[in-house]
Each structure stands twice: as C-alpha cells, then as structure tokens.
C-alpha cells in the first residue's frame, strides 16, 4: 500500500529547498551590461534668426491691352503665353477708315496753308497801301484780322492731322512693356470699342523679370528689424538692402535669393501686421505671378548657437529635456529651453554647454534612465557650414 506524505514532511521539504545553502543562481538573471549609446557634443554654429513668411508672387508690371480707337479687329500677331517686347505689334484694327480721315485732314491742311500765305501777303501790302492812303485804316485792320484767322485755321487743321495720324497709329495695338502676353480675349472679325469707359479688353501683358513677393510681417519682427538698422551682422547686399531667401513648397530648384524692396507705410490694425514687398530675379520666367511661396526674412544679426538633433529632445510634463553623459559614464537629466529649428536640428537657448556630451541614439536608448551607467560611443563629427538660416 502506497503511503501519502504527511503535511509536516511537505513543510520540511519546502524549508529545505528555500534555505541559502541549497539555492543555485540562474544564468539568465545575471547582471546586464551597461546599454550602448551614442553621444555627441552639441554642434556649434553661427546663424541668423529668420522669420518664415507666407508669400504670394506678383508681376512688377501688369497691363490690360485695350484699344484706343474703335473698329474691326483684322489681325492677331501673337501666340498665347508668348514673350513680347515693348513696342511689338500684337493686334491690328482695320486702319482704312482712319487713313481716309488722315488724307482728308492733310488736304484741309494744305488749303489752310495756302490761305495763310495769301493772307500774309495781303497783310504785308496793306502797310504800303495805308501809307499811300490807297486803303483806309479799317481795311488794313480787316486784312490783319484775316491773317490771324488764317493762322488759327492752320493751327486747327495741323491738330486735326496730328489726331488722325495718332488714330492710324492706334490701329496697331502694341505691347507697352516687356513681358508675357495672355491668350487673346477677342478673335479676329469682332468690333472692338475704344470709347473711354467702354473699351474692350483684348489681352493682358505681365512683366516677367524681376518678380515681386508680398508678405505680412508681424509687429514683433518689424521692431526687431528696426532695432538692427545701422548695426553690423544683418545680411545685406552691396546697396544695403536686406537679403532674403525664396523657397517654393515641393520645388526646391525654384529657390533663389532676393532683397527686401520696401515695407508699406502703415500697420494693418485688423491683423497687426505690415505688408512687405520683396523682389527676386526671374530671367527664365519659372516664377509665375500668383504662385504661393515662402520667404525667409532675417530678424537678427549673426550669433553663435548650440544645436542638437530633434530626436535627442524629450518631453516631461511640458518640460523639454536632454540626456547627457557624466564623467563617470552615467546618464544625467538636463532640463533645457529649446529655440529655433535649423536644418533638422534644434537650437538650445538654456541648459546646455558646449562641452557637454548629449545622448543622441543607441540600441539601449529606450532603456536608458537618468542615473544609470551606459557604454558610450562617440559619434563622428562633421564640419558644419559657417552660416545657416534658422526659422521660427
């Protein structure tokens, strides 16, 4: 018959197994080595703080082509989107009625000149005849009046000829500027009006190079710029104009440098901002009026900053912090005040020194906590550019 162990025997066996002399260490519970991490000093760089402004591009010159005379459109001498130059003939209105008016005015001018010459000779003879008492004083005065009337009529016909010639010239609609023309808004055969207030819109021409950018600048940035006037460090060109950088979202190849052209003369009380106009070269015409862009406006002089990777920054109940390496290879918690974003990194305004080593990444980073030892590996250093653009 099989015997069942008693309760006392079971308790004795449990005590025997739990005694220190009978305990064997589990290899899996051995102490873990310090986790490897990558550390690097903060990057030291000189930069100029910049405001990133939303910008709309617009042409420097924009002209609506409207006729100065009325008539039937007979020619269109351009293609939609074509580059044109000042003085190019773009459209032609039937000139024949205006040429006929010019010919009649020129004939009347010839008659007026003949009448003046006759009146002039008649007036000159009147002096001798008056001296010989061959005519009366009243007749001499009358001849002088006829000469004045002939001279007035001559001036009127000369003006009529000039007007007729202008009208003939106006039948050729020319481009008033260098630029790019739109599509023709009226086709050949239509009657177009040149009457003031009722003129027909034929097309538009917009200048191409250079091109303006319009942005709104807040009061704080305006005051910062005003405080830097006359001081060194603000990026300017040879003419003293502030340099700016244009970028197009999704089109890095269209980015370029320009300058501040002007500020408006007042701050909009509704928005608390002032209108800024910048100007950029556009020789190829790849910047189109109406295009949305970003302009980086410098609002500080060049100054040194410390930069760390964005991934190295942590958040602790609204407080931003970094993990740094102590001389004994342990992790330290460092509360910091971050600043501007620069090329994927973040400037640190307070809480970090140039000699500090920042924990940036590593296989053991998720398990790293302040106060614990780590196995640091130094990140390779790179030579940063001497100047960078920072954006708010």
Tens of pLDDT, residues 105-128: 999 999 999 999 988 888 787 777
Q: Which domains does the chain have, with CATH numbers?
A: 36-47+303-391 (2.40.420.20), 51-59+208-298 (2.40.30.170), 64-91+178-206 (2.40.50), 96-170 (1.10.287.470)
58-104: pLDDT as tens digits: 999 999 999 999 999 999 999 999 999 999 999 999 999 999 999 99
Q: Is the pLDDT of residue 167 over 90?
A: yes
Give the whole-angstrom CA distance, residue 277 versus residue 275: 7
Helices 137-170 and 96-131: angle between axes, nearest 10 degrees? 160
How many CA atoms lie less than 13 Å away from 66 in the CB half-sphere? 13
Pairing relationship of beta strands 89-93 and 83-84 according to DSSP bridges: unpaired
- pLDDT for res 47: 82
Q: Is the pLDDT of residue 365 over 70?
A: no
- pLDDT for res 108: 95
Sign of CA dihedral 45, 48, 50, 55: negative
Is pLDDT larger for residue 252 or for residue 230? Answer: 252
- pLDDT for res 385: 43
How many CA atoms lie less than 13 Å away from 134 in the CB half-sphere? 7
2-52: pLDDT as tens digits: 444 443 443 344 434 444 444 444 454 456 788 888 899 999 988 888 889
- pLDDT for res 292: 95
Contacts for 134 with CB less than 8 Å, ≥ 6 apart = none
User: Measured between alpha carbons, how far is residue 318 from residues 195, 314, 340 in Å?
Assistant: 68, 10, 17
- pLDDT for res 380: 61
Q: Is the pLDDT of residue 383 over 50?
A: no
Cis, bond preceding 382 (omega within 30 deg of 0): no
**How sure is the predictor about 203, in pLDDT bands with cuts at 50, 70 and 90?**
very high
Task: Please report which helix (H) or strand (E) contains residue 14, including its range.
Answer: helix 7-18
Closest CA relative to residue 333, chosen from 309, 351, 354: 351
Long-range contacts of residues 117-124, Cβ cutoff 8 Å, at least 24 apart:
118/150, 119/143, 119/146, 119/147, 119/149, 119/150, 119/151, 120/147, 120/150, 122/146, 122/147, 123/147
265-323: pLDDT as tens digits: 999 999 999 999 999 999 999 999 999 999 999 888 888 889 999 888 888 888 999 99
Give the whole-angstrom CA distance, residue 151 versus residue 237: 60
């Amino acid at each position: 018959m099989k015997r069942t162990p008693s309760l006392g025997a079971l308790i004795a066996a449990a005590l025997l197994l739990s005694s220190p002399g009978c305990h064997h260490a589990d290899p899996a519970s051995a102490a873990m080595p310090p986790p490897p991490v990558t550390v690097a000093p903060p990057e030291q760089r000189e930069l100029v703080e910049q405001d990133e402004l939303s910008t709309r591009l617009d042409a420097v010159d924009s002209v609506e082509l409207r006729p100065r005379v009325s008539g039937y459109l007979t020619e269109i001498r351009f293609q939609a989107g074509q580059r044109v130059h000042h003085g190019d003939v773009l459209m032609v209105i039937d000139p024949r009625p205006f040429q006929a008016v010019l010919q009649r005015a020129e004939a009347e001018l010839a008659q007026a000149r003949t009448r003046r010459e006759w009146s002039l000779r008649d007036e000159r003879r009147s002096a001798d005849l008056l001296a010989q008492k061959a005519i009366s004083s009243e007749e001499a005065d009358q001849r002088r009046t006829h000469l004045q009337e002939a001279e007035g009529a001559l001036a009127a016909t000369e003006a009529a000829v000039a007007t007729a010639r202008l009208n003939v010239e106006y039948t050729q609609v020319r481009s008033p500027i260098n630029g790019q023309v739109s599509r023709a808004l009226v086709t050949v055969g239509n009657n177009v009006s040149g009457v003031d207030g009722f003129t027909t819109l034929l097309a538009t021409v917009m200048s191409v190079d250079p091109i303006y950018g319009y942005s709104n600048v807040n009061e704080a940035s305006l005051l910062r710029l005003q405080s830097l006037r006359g001081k060194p460090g603000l990026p300017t060109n040879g003419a003293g104009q502030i340099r700016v950088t244009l970028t197009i979202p999704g089109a890095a190849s269209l980015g370029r440098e320009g300058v501040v052209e002007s500020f408006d003369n007042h701050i909009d009380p509704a928005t608390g901002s002032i209108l800024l106009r910048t100007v950029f070269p556009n020789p190829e015409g790849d910047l189109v009026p109406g295009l949305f862009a970003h302009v980086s406006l410098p609002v500080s002089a060049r100054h040194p900053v410390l930069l760390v990777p964005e991934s190295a920054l942590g958040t602790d109940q609204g407080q931003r912090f970094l993990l740094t390496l102590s001389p004994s290879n342990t992790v330290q918690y460092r509360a910091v005040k971050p600043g501007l974003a620069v090329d994927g990194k973040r400037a640190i305004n307070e809480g970090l020194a140039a000699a500090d080593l920042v924990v940036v990444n590593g296989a053991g980073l998720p398990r790293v906590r302040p106060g614990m030892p780590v196995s640091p590996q130094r990140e390779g250093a790179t030579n940063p550019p001497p100047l960078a653009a920072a954006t708010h």
